[in-house]
Amino acid sequence: MPACWILPEWWGANDPFRAGSRANAPNPGSAAFAAHPAWELFKRFAESTVAPVELGTLIAVGVAAVAWVRRREQGAVLALAALGFSWFALVAVMTEAGFAGNQRYLMVTTAAVSVLGGVGAVRVLQGVESLGERWFGTARAGARAAAVALVLGIAIASPTIVAKADNTGRVQGGIEHEAYLWHDLKALIDANGGKERLLACGGVFSGPFQTQMVAYELGVHGINVGWKVTPPPGVAFRTRTVPDGPLVTKPTDDRYRLVDQHGKWRLLTVPPTGNNPRTGCPQSGPNTPTASPPTQSGPGQRKVEVIGK
């Protein structure tokens, strides 16, 4: 597992721990920037799970703890709870240390809580069955009481069930946006002479979440695409990470000029000095500002190795 995690990053980005360094540079709005990151992480996790599941988890763990103390039973439930809660504690400590604390980091905890919530629901039904049998005197009466409780529970939780069973309306816009991003990027590159002419601009830049997409379409390594700063000469691919988000990346040099706009993308360039506008870097016009190549490498300015050549 460590080899599968580290070696591809080492080969593709020349940094075996690139994923860690990227996660330690969170975006605005991250839980890491809260006054109390661990508490903020917990609040966001609680908001992302539904109350019945959370209650079921507490019931399952409580019943299992009593069973373990009295009869050494239900150890598997406690082990699952320990796994989920310890994973949350690990992510909380990392968030306090400056990591992003994204909700996807808590998939293990979410899976554990989901299973424990189901176990808790079963324990409630078992309790209702036991009470029904005690009150009415027969096992059949207990089973009927549990069945009634199940139907009532489903009826009460039906709004949540419906919302969680079909949430395509909530996420469809984002999915379509991401699909069109790739489609429009290919068209933008083709409309401006292909990857060879764009690579002739110098540095390559995009938003932080589009670096791999741009690198793939240009046939270069991801390390060749910068995003924090945009030193000229170079080409910047600007778009929105989410449909209503801001345009990224933001050029840090005022010589960048808009060359083309296609679909969800904008193409800006600062051609290198002596650029041939017919065969070299696309430019906005005859009076476009140019720049000399940098004397040293930097973000987006590393030596480009075109894959496959």
Dist. CA 43–CA 32, nearest whole Å? 13
Structure tokens at 58: 């507490």
Q: Tell me what the mean pLDDT of segment 240-249 comes to.
A: 90
Which pLDDT value is given to residue 121?
93
Q: Is the pLDDT of residue 292 over 50?
A: yes
Dist. CA 275–CA 230, nearest whole Å? 19
Q: Tell me what the mean pLDDT of segment 129-133 comes to.
A: 89
Q: Tell me what the mean pLDDT of segment 8-30 comes to.
A: 74
Dist. CA 17–CA 6, nearest whole Å? 7
Structure tokens at 3: 């080899």
Q: Tell me what the mean pLDDT of segment 224-234 comes to.
A: 91
285 pLDDT tier (thresholds 50, 70, 90): very high
CA dihedral 194, 195, 198, 199 (to 10 degrees): -150
295 pLDDT tier (thresholds 50, 70, 90): low
- Report pTM: 0.65
> Any idea which residue has 């695409």 for tokens?
225
15 pLDDT tier (thresholds 50, 70, 90): confident
CA-based end-to-end distance of the chain: 31
Rg (Cα) of the chain, in Å, rounded? 28
Pairing of strands 265-270, 234-240: antiparallel
Dist. CA 305–CA 302, nearest whole Å? 9
Q: Tell me what the mean pLDDT of segment 243-262 comes to.
A: 94
237 pLDDT tier (thresholds 50, 70, 90): very high
pLDDT tens sequence across 72-129: 999 999 999 999 999 999 999 999 988 888 888 999 999 999 999 999 999 999 999 9
Q: Is the pLDDT of residue 142 over 90?
A: no
Dist. CA 205–CA 199, nearest whole Å? 11
Q: Is the pLDDT of residue 303 over 70?
A: no
Q: Tell me what the mean pLDDT of segment 236-245 comes to.
A: 92
Q: Residues 198, 236: contact at Cβ < 8 Å?
A: no
Which pLDDT value is given to residue 154?
87
pLDDT tens sequence across 35-88: 999 999 999 999 888 888 999 999 999 999 999 999 999 999 999 999 999 999
Dist. CA 166–CA 194, nearest whole Å? 41
Q: Is the pLDDT of residue 307 over 70?
A: no
Q: Residues 112, 78: contact at Cβ < 8 Å?
A: no
3 state DSSP class of 115? helix
26 pLDDT tier (thresholds 50, 70, 90): confident
Which pLDDT value is given to residue 288?
94
Average pLDDT, the chain: 88
Which pLDDT value is given to residue 7?
84
Three-class HEC string of 90-108: HHHHHHHCCCCCCHHHHHH
Which pLDDT value is given to residue 309?
47
Which pLDDT value is given to residue 300?
53
Which pLDDT value is given to residue 282?
96
186 pLDDT tier (thresholds 50, 70, 90): very high
Q: Tell me what the mean pLDDT of segment 236-252 comes to.
A: 92
